[in-house]
Amino acid sequence: MLGLMQNQPLLISALITHAERHHGDGEIVSRRVEGDLHRYQWRDVARRARQVANALDGMQLLFSDRIATLAWNGYRHLELYFGVSGSGRVLHTLNPRLHPDQIAWIANHAEDQVLCFELSFLPLVQAIHARCPGIRQYVALCEADRLPVDSGIPHLVSYEAWIGAQGDRYDWPVFDENSASSMCYTSGTTGNPKAALYSQRSTILHAYAASLPDVMGLSARDSVLPVVPMFHVNAWGIPYAAALNGCKLVFPGPNLDGKSVYELMEAEQVTFAAGVPTVWQMLLGHLKQNGLRFSSLKRTVIGGSACPPAMIDAFREDYGVDVLHAWGMTEMSPLGTLCTLKNRHAGLPAPEQLKIRLKQGRAIFGVDLKIIGDAGEELPWDGKTFGDLYVKGPWVVREYFKGDGGDPLIEGWFPTGDVGTIDGEGYLQITDRSKDVIKSGGEWISSIDIENIAMAHPCVQMAACVGMKHPKWDERPIVAVVKRPGAELSREELLGFYEGKIAKWQVPDDVVFVEAIPLGATGKMLKTRLREQLKDYRLPTA
């Protein structure tokens, strides 16, 4: 017997319709490329998203055609999120931090037909357009009078003229909720990038999940600042979850330095923010240098790479901001786990609580986790046994776009490429990416643990641990360190700092001071490049 409830497909258009009807006067504030602040309301987003949909219909674009963006976090990008996916097309957010060759390759692979770009990316578009014959319309995200003349880009129109010519009435189509809604390419540190192709259904379920109290806990009382870019995994789903809950949204545009982010947070009374550790490092540095405090910020989600304990401590102890450590990946839309404490942890002393907060957290309902040993056996959840982490769930990829890379699943599970432990209470701790794991004398050493300890030293700005070949032990860890400006720190002092914090055999063999640690297009440490830079390095102990 089937249930007798209505069967309404879960569609992204419903989010914007809901936000308009129930939170029409909710504010959206955006720092623009032009430098000024733009503000309007959810009802304006909805109206202009309908104009976007009309513009796409007017171009005879078909269902599931790809519309690409090269854009910062801002209101026009938000309108495209809803106008493109709501009308049944696929929003393809390109990452402007990639190399132009890679962007051109990705745009061709995705078969993008329209490219909407921020004026600050004009040189990038000039560099790739000749190589992207499939793109038949370029839309500069600006007013008509700012449209560059003699840009050399064919079929170029300003966004405001493009949508301004359209009516603002539109009946959102109803279609299969499993239809594609947006796509994001993985950064492809090995081989060509592959695309996760999200569906309307997976996006809505993920938006519900993101809103839960033990996840982002978003509400109509929140003022939300996503520093995490809308060009990478849909800003962790925040634009959708914000529409679902009627949050105020605050977009930082291109200015992600500590001062700009802080001033925007204060001016717009931001209560909730989300970003990767490298960005928060700049923000905390600005606060410390200038003796500032937050007047409204309550919670921040930190993920994308491991959040150092010193950062969790600084946010909580110095500024009273709750840090929610999160783990996920492009292939998971991206949320997998998030760290909040349980009731029974409330009475624990602060250092014990910190140990839990440092973990990547518990699975969000909908996501299933398991850890697997070398022989494919499932490993115990004891908080000690390391294994390859596998996931499944309704917002986890089943296959990459165009079937690239073959079937990624193993008996229905997606192997994440991460290695971690899960404790008896279900808290996941990532110890490494499998390609970064350091094996010394048959034992695994967690590079994240080694980096976290170094980053807790007051003279260290950033640390990256990699394994180096060793004749006896196979591999031994070394730590590459960027010192804080003006700080004095010796190799011996830092190695001494490890004493008592981890087992002796896990202490790195050496410290290499470097000017900078190479970062990838999504702000993560690029250990492959660091290893290349250190190719002539020899271990003192080898």
Record the tokens describing residue 367, joined without a space: 């996501």
First to last CA, the chain: 70
Using CB under 6 A as the binding rule, whether residue 418 contacts ligand ADP is answered as yes
Using CB under 6 A as the binding rule, whether residue 511 contacts ligand ADP is answered as no
Using CB under 6 A as the binding rule, whether residue 433 contacts ligand ADP is answered as yes
- Say if CB 305 and CB 433 are below 8 A apart: no
Using CB under 6 A as the binding rule, whether residue 395 contacts ligand ADP is answered as no
Tell me the closest approach of the beta carbon of residue 334 to ligand ADP, in angstroms: 6
Per CB under 6 A, the segment of 362-370, 400-408, 412-420, 465-473 that binds ligand ADP is 412-420
Tell me the closest approach of the beta carbon of residue 339 to ligand ADP, in angstroms: 9
57-86 residues in contact with ligand ADP (CB under 6 A) are: none
Looking at residue 298, what DSSP letter applies? Answer: -
Using CB under 6 A as the binding rule, whether residue 187 contacts ligand ADP is answered as yes
Closer to ligand ADP by Cβ: residue 26 or 334: 334
Q: In sequence order, what DSSP letters do the residues of 70-84 get, joined into one string? A: E--SSHHHHHHHHHH
> How long, in residues, is the chain?
542
Using CB under 6 A as the binding rule, whether residue 303 contacts ligand ADP is answered as yes
Tell me the closest approach of the beta carbon of residue 328 to ligand ADP, in angstroms: 6
* Amino acid code (one letter) for 487: A
Backbone angles phi, psi at 219, to 5 degrees: -150, 175
Closer to ligand ADP by Cβ: residue 14 or 91: 91
- Say if CB 237 and CB 229 are below 8 A apart: no
Using CB under 6 A as the binding rule, whether residue 360 contacts ligand ADP is answered as yes
Tell me the closest approach of the beta carbon of residue 336 to ligand ADP, in angstroms: 8
Closer to ligand ADP by Cβ: residue 200 or 446: 446
What is the distance between the alpha carbons of residues 154 and 496, in angstroms, rounded to a whole number? 61
What is the distance between the alpha carbons of residues 385 and 399, in angstroms, rounded to a whole number? 29
Looking at residue 434, what DSSP letter applies? Answer: G
Closer to ligand ADP by Cβ: residue 125 or 329: 329
Closer to ligand ADP by Cβ: residue 100 or 188: 188
- Say if CB 337 and CB 428 are below 8 A apart: yes
Closer to ligand ADP by Cβ: residue 203 or 330: 330
Using CB under 6 A as the binding rule, whether residue 304 contacts ligand ADP is answered as yes
Using CB under 6 A as the binding rule, whether residue 416 contacts ligand ADP is answered as yes
Closer to ligand ADP by Cβ: residue 218 or 430: 430
Helix, strand or coil for residue 504? helix
Backbone angles phi, psi at 124, to 5 degrees: -65, -45
Tell me the closest approach of the beta carbon of residue 462 to ligand ADP, in angstroms: 15
What is the distance between the alpha carbons of residues 236 and 232, in angstroms, rounded to a whole number? 8
- Say if CB 260 and CB 252 are below 8 A apart: yes
Closer to ligand ADP by Cβ: residue 327 or 498: 327
Using CB under 6 A as the binding rule, whether residue 51 contacts ligand ADP is answered as no
Task: Please tell me whether the peptide bond between 229 and the residue prior to it is cis, using omega within 30 degrees of 0.
Answer: no
Burial label for 528, CB within 10 Å (0-12, 13-18, 19+), is middle
Using CB under 6 A as the binding rule, whether residue 327 contacts ligand ADP is answered as yes
What is the distance between the alpha carbons of residues 121 and 96, in angstroms, rounded to a whole number? 8
Mode of pairing for the β-strands spanning 90-93 and 180-185: parallel
Q: 99-112 as b/e, with b when 16 or more CB fall inside 10 Å?
A: eeebbbbbbebbbb
Cα–Cα separations (whole angstroms), residue 163 to 24, 59, 143, 230: 20, 12, 11, 21
Closer to ligand ADP by Cβ: residue 271 or 522: 522
Per CB under 6 A, the segment of 174-182, 285-293, 302-310, 392-400 that binds ligand ADP is 302-310
Tell me the closest approach of the beta carbon of residue 253 to ligand ADP, in angstroms: 21
434: alpha, beta or left, given left = phi > 0 and alpha = psi -120 to 50? alpha
What is the distance between the alpha carbons of residues 302 and 247, in angstroms, rounded to a whole number? 19
Using CB under 6 A as the binding rule, whether residue 186 contacts ligand ADP is answered as yes
Tell me the closest approach of the beta carbon of residue 52 to ligand ADP, in angstroms: 27
Among 524, 525, 527, 530, binds ligand ADP (CB under 6 A): 524
Using CB under 6 A as the binding rule, whether residue 330 contacts ligand ADP is answered as yes
Among 54, 202, 447, 522, binds ligand ADP (CB under 6 A): 522
| Catalytic center residues | 186, 331, 439, 444
Tell me the closest approach of the beta carbon of residue 416 to ligand ADP, in angstroms: 5
Using CB under 6 A as the binding rule, whether residue 95 contacts ligand ADP is answered as no
What is the distance between the alpha carbons of residues 271 and 297, in angstroms, rounded to a whole number? 4
Tell me the closest approach of the beta carbon of residue 299 to ligand ADP, in angstroms: 16
Record the tokens describing residue 232, joined without a space: 């990478």
Using CB under 6 A as the binding rule, whether residue 306 contacts ligand ADP is answered as yes
| Cross-strand pairs, 371 | 389
What is the distance between the alpha carbons of residues 182 and 173, in angstroms, rounded to a whole number? 17
Using CB under 6 A as the binding rule, whether residue 447 contacts ligand ADP is answered as no
- Say if CB 126 and CB 148 are below 8 A apart: no
120-179 residues in contact with ligand ADP (CB under 6 A) are: none
Closer to ligand ADP by Cβ: residue 147 or 526: 526
Tell me the closest approach of the beta carbon of residue 182 to ligand ADP, in angstroms: 15
Among 325, 359, 362, 476, binds ligand ADP (CB under 6 A): 325
- The site for ligand ADP (CB under 6 A) is made up of 186-187, 303-306, 325-327, 329-330, 334, 360, 416-418, 430, 433, 522, 524
